[in-house]
Chains A and B, each alone.
Chain A
């Protein structure tokens, strides 16, 4: 099957392209990217006025399957991802049971091959059960196709164990995605520590709890000579530590999530539990630092940290609610508003954060539109305005602080391995 995506502005930072081009897809691969391609046997997709990019990669999502299918499943999660313009997602191993061995991974891969609309790439746990005690068999999980290891949701508290994990990941050639949190410094907090937590009478999580752990783990990674990727960077100090480490040539990459550059702890003021996130929403100063780090390349990736929770889990006292929010269906709209319209990033830079960089960090062949690459393609209507409404979300859970927001910029088309998954904004 051939498809010809015609007349869009192709933005492919891997080839330095930002031009009106056509893209010819043959079977699962990119056949050609050029001006005015003629292919009589191809099905034509009109992309006039659209931006066409390598398929987006969200390297930080929680799909809850197996174990918490009431919150999200591979089926509903990938529908949400497709709606958001993502052709690939990497799913975190904090399921029940945790993805900490090859057998569990094989079972998950069965579910994925049965239900997934897009590429779902599992991440293995660093420690068995994510308890932070015993290292998993990272090599065996790598043979089953994990793209990274992480104990996300928890930090590996023991530094000796973390060092071993980094060495073992290096041997298996997978990246460590690091949830950095010093739990003692988090002090059972539920939001950012500062004026807002004081005013609201809630326990605060200091930014030290994040950056001290980042500092420690970057040093360990340097010692092990291993690659480390810092998950969900939320504050100014963390940014500065990562910036310095990169200057020193340490193999560190970093991600942030849209809520860390669109929201502050002032959004918690009404005790809306959808603003209860870990790490917590920080201050305006931190938001400015995150934007600066996106602009200068200190932060490589925008990932949603899509964390579904049901209404009944979230409709409780702030102290009692679980941390997390969904994000797959709002990531692009929020980023266009804050970063493109806010003149922080150009479209090519935004596509680096959404496609090229996460693909490279995870070792994927996608993230580029070069000939012969997988035909994973996202088509975006950059001018499309819409309101984020609960009822139209594909995700099984609706826990988003962005509900009711007016957004601009929406994915309307998606190809995964040469097959159309969404056209004209509708999942096929």
Chain B
């Protein structure tokens, strides 16, 4: 049986995004992750929760880090794991996403963890297969497990999420991490500010319930935590910002900028960091940084997600 917090039972086949979850469902994942966090500190870091289940990591974008995190999470739940990556699969030969999904399903796979460069690809996959689908990041849309691990980390640092001032800084327009964090944090009662150069603030973002600013000082003042996004100049920004150095000068998180903030401000980053672009090294490695804890917590959170969707009754599939 999936964990019960006393309020609700997990019933969803898939985890596609935090937009689609209720406050209680998000709380259930975070609560479940607590107990798996304990497991990861044991000498033998493995529980039989998903023994006999099979997880496929279907990655259309190369990315070692999240794939490894999902793989470890599944293995620590005693599931069998298979990795399918874009170069190695038949995708390049022109097989469609839905066909790939159905072929994976025919192999009697319980959970498909999918990362895709097209927004909405997990939604399309989820309605085409009976297997559970977990979104490991789709286009600019959502990256729910990243946001969940950010929230988990924040909650374990500051003891709560409700009422916290959290600023998300960086390329909001092209960031799935930003969107998932906005949905999750606002649902749990945090006050979210997004901060970026005007060209990187997407139209209508304020309707997601956030404050919008292009002034870094405004984003930092009074913040209990900041989530600093990776700037991917080469890939995403559509030439929206002149140079890396100019970005660092105006928006980079430095020791000097942090000096004016709350002393115990929590500094997060989804990684990998571009040192000297969005953040200076002394901040990344400094006392406020929880960046490596995020990585550790990522496994517990992903274990919780795999566990919850993995044990949904067959009827829901």
- Using a CB–CB cutoff of 8 Å, the interface residues on chain A facing chain B are 193-202, 204, 270-271, 312, 315-320
**Candidates A194, A200, A204; contact of B141 at CB < 8 Å:** A200
Check if A195 sits within 8 Å of B204, measured CB to CB.
yes
Q: Nearest residue in A to B176 (C-beta to C-beta)?
A: A201
A320 with B204: CB separation less than 8 A: no
Which of these binds chain A: B24-32, B112-120, B159-167?
Answer: B112-120
Select the residue from B97, B98, B116, B202 with max chain A CB neighbours within 10 A.
Answer: B202
Contacts of A199 in B (CB 8 A): 19, 179, 204, 208
Q: Does B292 contact A (CB under 8 A)?
A: no
Q: Does B96 contact A (CB under 8 A)?
A: yes
Cβ 8 A contact of B142, one of A194, A201, A204, A317 = A201
- Report whether A198 and B204 are in contact in the complex, using a CB–CB cutoff of 8 Å: yes
What residue of chain A has the Cβ atom nearest to residue B127's Cβ?
A270
Interchain residue pairs with CB less than 8 A apart (8): A194-B204, A196-B204, A201-B120, A202-B141, A271-B120, A271-B124, A315-B96, A319-B118
List A contacts of B121 (CB < 8 A): 317
Overall SS of chain A's interface: helix
User: CA of A198 to CA of B119 in the docked complex: distance in angstroms?
Assistant: 11
In the complex, chain A residues whose CB is within 8 Å of the CB of B179: 199, 201
Q: Complex: how many Å from CA A270 to CA B125?
A: 12
CB distance from B240 to the nearest CB of A (A): 12
Q: Is B93 interfacial (CB-CB < 8 Å)?
A: no
Cβ contact within 8 Å between A193 and B119? no
In the complex, which residues of chain A have a beta carbon less than 8 angstroms from the beta carbon of B176? 201
**Contacts A315-B96, A315-B98, A317-B124 known; A201 to B205 CB distance under 8 Å?**
no
Q: Are B203 and A317 in contact (CB under 8 A)?
A: no
What's the nearest-Cβ distance from chain B to residue A196, in Å? 8
A204 near B203 with CB under 8 A, answer: yes
* Besides A195-B207, A315-B96, A316-B124, 14 other A-B contacts (C-beta < 8 A): A196-B204, A197-B203, A198-B208, A199-B208, A201-B140, A201-B141, A271-B124, A315-B98, A317-B116, A317-B120, A317-B124, A318-B118, A319-B139, A320-B118
A186 CB to closest chain B CB, in angstroms?
Answer: 14
A163 to B142, CA, bound (A): 46
Question: B95-124, CB under 8 A of A: which get 1 and which 0?
Answer: 011100000000000000000101111011
Q: Judging by beta carbons under 8 Å apart, are B96 and A200 in contact?
A: no
Name, among B138, B203, B205, the residue most crowded by chain A CB atoms within 10 Å (CB to CB).
B203
- Contact partners of A271 in chain B: CB under 8 A: 119-120, 123-124
Asked whether A195 and B97 contact (CB < 8 A) given A317-B120, A317-B124, the answer is no
Q: Known contacts A200-B120, A201-B138, A201-B142: does B203 contact A194 (CB below 8 Å)?
A: yes
- How many residues from B make CB contacts under 8 Å with A? 25
Q: Residues 194-234 of chain B: 1 if any A CB is under 8 Å from the residue's CB, otherwise 0?
A: 00000000111101100000000000000000000000000
Contacts of B202 in A (CB 8 A): 197-198
Which residues of chain A are within 8 angstroms of B207 by Cβ–Cβ distance?
A: 195
In whole Å, how far is B138's beta carbon from the nearest beta carbon of chain A?
Answer: 7
Residue of B nearest to A206 (CB): B203
Closest to B179 in A: A201
| CB <8 Å contact, A200 and B119 | yes
B interface list, Cβ under 8 A from A: 19, 96-98, 116, 118-121, 123-124, 138-142, 173, 176, 179, 202-205, 207-208
Measured between beta carbons, the chain B residues less than 8 angstroms from A198 are 173, 202-205, 208
Judge whether A312 and B119 touch: CB under 8 Å: no
| Complex contacts, A318 vs chain B, CB 8 Å | 118-120, 124
A270 surroundings in chain B (CB, below 8 A): 123
Decide if B98 touches A201 in the complex (CB within 8 Å).
Answer: no
CA distance A419 to B223 in the complex (A): 76
Considering the chains assembled together, what is the distance between the CA atoms of A285 and B208 in angstroms?
Answer: 19
Q: How far is the CA of A315 from the CA of B138 in the complex (A)?
A: 17
- Distance in angstroms from A241 CB to nearest chain B CB is 21
9 tightest A-B contacts by CB?
A195-B204, A201-B141, A271-B120, A201-B140, A201-B119, A317-B118, A198-B202, A319-B118, A195-B207
A69 to chain B, nearest CB (A): 22
Across-interface contacts of A201 in B (CB, < 8 A): 119-120, 138-142, 176, 179
Residues of B close to A200: CB separation below 8 A: 119-120, 141
Within the complex, what minimum Cβ distance (angstroms) separates B206 from chain A?
A: 9
Q: In the bound complex, what is the Cα–Cα distance between A320 and B91 (angstroms)?
A: 14
Closest to B119 in A: A201
Residue of B nearest to A319 (CB): B118
Complex Cα spacing A317 to B138, Å? 11
Select from chain B the residue with minimum beta-carbon distance to A195: B204
Inside 8 A of B140's CB, which chain A residues have their CB? 201-202
When A201-B138, A270-B123 are in contact, do A316 and B204 touch as well, CB less than 8 Å? Answer: no
A317, B121: Cα distance in complex, Å: 6
Which B residues lie within 8 Å of A312 (CB)? Answer: 96
CB proximity of A20 to chain B, nearest CB, Å? 50
Let me know if A195 and B203 touch, CB within 8 A. Answer: yes
Q: How far is the CA of A319 from the CA of B121 in the complex (A)?
A: 9
Instruction: Output the nearest chain B residue to A188 by Cβ-Cβ distance.
Output: B238
A316 touches B138 (CB 8 A): no
Distance in angstroms from B192 CB to nearest chain A CB is 14
In the complex, what residues of B have CB within 8 A of residue A204's CB? 203
Closest to B99 in A: A315
In this complex, the member of B19, B118, B120, B202 whose beta carbon has the largest number of chain A beta carbons within 10 angstroms is B120
Per the bound structure, the CA–CA distance linking A271 and B139 in Å amounts to 13
When distances are taken between beta carbons in the complex, the residues of chain A under 8 Å from B119 are 200-202, 271, 318-319
Complex Cα spacing A386 to B12, Å: 33
Closest beta carbon of chain A to B64's beta carbon, Å: 23
Contacts A201-B119, A271-B120, A271-B123 given; indicate if A193 touches B139 (C-beta within 8 A).
no
A196 to B179, CA, bound (A): 12
A299 to chain B, nearest CB (A): 26
Using CB atoms, name the residue of chain A closest to B173: A198
Q: How far is the CB of B42 from chain A (nearest CB, A)?
A: 38
A201 to B138, CA, bound (A): 9
Set of chain A residues within 8 Å of B208, measured between Cβ atoms: 195, 198-199
Chain B residue, CB-CB nearest to A317: B118
Asked, given contacts A198-B203, A198-B204, A204-B203, whether A316 binds B96 with beta carbons under 8 Å apart, the answer is yes
Q: Determine the chain B residues whose CB is within 8 A of the CB of A316 once the complex forms.
A: 96-98, 124
How far is A198 from B207 in the complex, measured between Cα atoms in Å? 10
Quote the shortest CB–CB distance from A200 to chain B (angstroms): 6
User: Separation in Å of the A333 CB from the closest CB of chain B?
Assistant: 26
In the complex, the answer to whether B205 meets A202 with C-beta atoms within 8 Å is: no
How far is the CB of B127 from the nearest CB of chain A, in Å? 8
**What residues on A are CB-neighbors of B142 within 8 Å?**
201
Question: Chain A residue with minimal CB distance to B142?
Answer: A201
Contacts of B118 in A (CB 8 A): 317-320
